[in-house]
Amino acid sequence: MLHPTAIIHATAEIGSNVSIGPYSLIGDNVVIHDEVEIAGHVVIEGPCEIGRGTQIFPFASIGQPPQDLKFSGEETRLMIGERNVIREYVTMNRGTAGGGGLTSVGNDNLFMAQAHIAHDSHVGSHCVFANAGTLAGHVEVADHATIGAYSAVHQFCRVGKYAFIGGFSVVVKDALPYARTVGNHASCYGANTIGLRRQGFSNDAIRHIQHAFHILLTSKLNTTQALERLREEMTGIPEIDYLIEFIATSQRGVVK
């Protein structure tokens, strides 16, 4: 299942039932686990590890050095989990020593064409990146987040669980979990009710999240006061506990 025109480095480790298409290049220190499908004209450089069942489409560039002027050739890594779908022209870069040396991607994500995962970023599982969704370096994206087409997330920002970033958005602060964040520069438009319902959230959980965003966005309280109100009224509800922790630990502030 390895095309004769593919170039595979002697140190690369290839699992069972792996297919590699024509003119693809698999470099030094690349580990490809079982049942990975790599189309033609894909370039993968190491150190890099690709989890079981991942699909990589033509012209993707995986594991290249970071686009960071501080990078000086130190050994860093890219780790990709299982069952990811990586479409055409997606780019994912290795980490930098200053950022921890690792770029990581979880399981069951979809990266549509031209999405970019920059150095030292960490993507959870079950996320969707629409076409040209872009992460700058050192970005954290939690599970079940959606990054809209042609949207960009600034360095050192976080995107919370079940967050929805609308298309053509510019996110320069932390994007709140469970919320719709849209615009240039982005604003938060409250709970992503339709998305949460599609994800199987109960009516009670959605009502709690809606009430929390009412306190955060429309109560005329500042963020510190809103957090205190949430702690007083809603502590012990798992979704709200996570929301409170996300806001309280923000380094860049949150999009409101």
Helix, coil or strand: residue 85: strand
From the list 80, 81, 107, the residue with the least C-alpha distance to 95 is 80
Query: Quick check: is 120 catalytic?
Result: yes
What pLDDT is attached to residue 122? 98
**What's the confidence (pLDDT) of residue 132?**
98
**Neighbour count for residue 220 (Cβ, 10 Å):** 7
User: pLDDT (tens digit, 9 = 90+) per residue, 89-106?
Assistant: 999 999 999 999 999 999
Catalytic residue among 33, 116, 119, 208: 119
Distance, CA of 62 to CA of 195 (rounded, Å)? 30
Q: Hey, what are 241's tokens?
A: 């506990």
The 10s digit of each residue's pLDDT in 33-58 is 999 999 999 999 999 999 999 999 99
Q: So what's the pLDDT on residue 185? A: 93
Could you tell me which of 121, 179, 178 has the C-alpha nearest to residue 152? 121
The pLDDT of residue 216: 96
187: nearest Cα among 215, 210, 230, 216: 216
Catalytic residue among 81, 124, 137, 148: 137
Share of the chain above pLDDT 90, in %: 99
Distance CA 139, CA 114 (A): 17
197-248 and 7-138 share a CATH fold:
no
CATH 3.40.50.300 applies to domain 197-248: no
Q: Quick check: helix, strand or coil at residue 198?
A: helix
pTM of the model: 0.97
Tally Cβ neighbours within 10 Å of residue 1. 11
Q: What is the pLDDT of residue 210?
A: 98
The CATH H-level superfamily of 7-138 is Hexapeptide repeat proteins (2.160.10.10)
Neighbours of 156 (CB within 10 A): 16
pLDDT in tens, 111-163: 999 999 999 999 999 999 999 999 999 999 999 999 999 999 999 999 999 99
Whole-number Å distance between alpha carbons of 44 and 246: 34
Query: Which of 4, 97, 16, 12 lies closest to 62 in space, CA to CA?
Result: 12
Question: Is 34 one of the catalytic residues?
Answer: no
**% pLDDT > 70, the chain:** 100
CA distance 67 to 220: 42
The reply to whether omega before 185 is within 30° of 0 (cis) is yes
Q: Residue ranges per domain, the chain?
A: 7-138, 197-248
CA–CA distances in Å: residue 104 to residues 69, 79, 94: 20, 5, 9
* H helix or E strand, kind and range, residue 43: strand 43-44
pLDDT tens for each residue of 192-242: 999 999 999 999 999 999 999 999 999 999 999 999 999 999 999 999 999
- Tell the residue number behind the tokens 């604003």, with chain if given: 187
Distance of alpha carbon 87 from alpha carbon 131, whole angstroms = 9
Q: Give the active site residue among 27, 120, 122, 133.
A: 120
Q: What is the pLDDT of residue 55?
A: 98
